Amino acid sequence: MGNGGSKQEQHVFNADAPVRFSQNVVDSLQNSAETDSTRAQDYELKIQSRVNSELKKLRDEQSRKLADLTSSLSSSSSSSDTKNDSPLSKVLPDKETITSHLSSPFSSSNDTSSKDSTSRSHDSVQKEIMTLRAKLDARKKLEKPSKEVEKAKEELVRCLRTKDRRPLDCWEEVEAFKAEVGKLERAFVERAGR
């Protein structure tokens, strides 16, 4: 029952041979201005630059392959211009459409600063934006909730504001709101199921 029996002994490990560093190593470590964080930052920068260079090589190779492919497709389509019955001429009629269909977003030739014959005009971009907005607005048509749902919502909000310290006292209003929303959901499911 004594205090001495419940304590564990500490284990001390002694090396068989003493560990010693030369004075040159100790001095170089103490005089070094480089810390672990700066070493890690340098290492991270080296990794990032290596990854960027590899990505650039891959992009250049892919853009070269793309250029070769588009030139071979355009040459094959120009040789088949005499035959308009070929399936390639029906699908890809000219070089501009081939380039626009096959262009890589990683290609260095796809910079926004470059102005070429395939670049789109401001008016065409604005027109496309307007059509996309119209489609989005057509999808967004939300129905106004019924008056019963609005009334139940207002009663629930009023109750929660007046009984802010006791929100569980508003259980009747919560149930009424759930019932109204349930009716609305059932009506939506019936309409969507048709």
Residues 108 and 64: beta-carbon distance below 8 Å: no
For residue 117, being part of any structural domain is answered with no
| The predicted structure's pLDDT at residue 4 | 60
Neighbours of 127 (CB within 10 A): 12
Q: Say if 88 falls within a structural domain.
A: yes
**105, two tokens:** 């977003």
∠ CA 178-182-184, rounded to 5°? 120
Structural domain including 156 reads: 147-193
What pLDDT score was predicted for residue 9?
75
Tokens read off for 62: 């892919």
Judge whether 151 and 181 are in contact, CB under 8 Å.
Answer: no
Domain termination residue (choose one: 108, 136, 164): 108
Answer whether residue 74 is part of any domain: yes
Distance CA 131, CA 121 (A): 16
- Domain assignment of residue 2, yes or no: no
Q: What is the pLDDT of residue 114?
A: 47
What is the tens place of the pLDDT at every residue in 50-100? 999 999 999 999 999 988 888 888 777 666 555 555 455 555 445 555 555
Residue 39: predicted pLDDT: 83
> In this structure, what DSSP letter does residue 109 have?
G
Q: Sign of the CA dihedral 118, 123, 126, 132? A: negative
In the predicted model, residues of the chain with pLDDT beneath 70 are: 1-7, 77-119, 140-141
**Structure tokens given for 76:** 């094959």
- Residue written as tokens 């009424």? 176
Listed in sequence order, the residues at least 6 apart from 65 whose beta carbon sits closer than 8 Å to its beta carbon are none
What pLDDT sits at residue 176? 95
Predicted model pTM: 0.30
Q: How far apart are CA 152 and CA 179, in angstroms?
A: 9
Residue 169 lies in a domain: yes
Q: How far apart are CA 154 and CA 162, in angstroms?
A: 12
Residue 88 and residue 80 in contact, taking contact as beta carbons nearer than 8 Å: yes
Angle, CA 107 vertex, CA 75 and CA 97 arms, to 5°: 40
Assess if residue 100 is contained within a domain: yes
Q: Tally the domains of the chain.
A: 2
Whether residues 100 and 153 fall in one domain: no
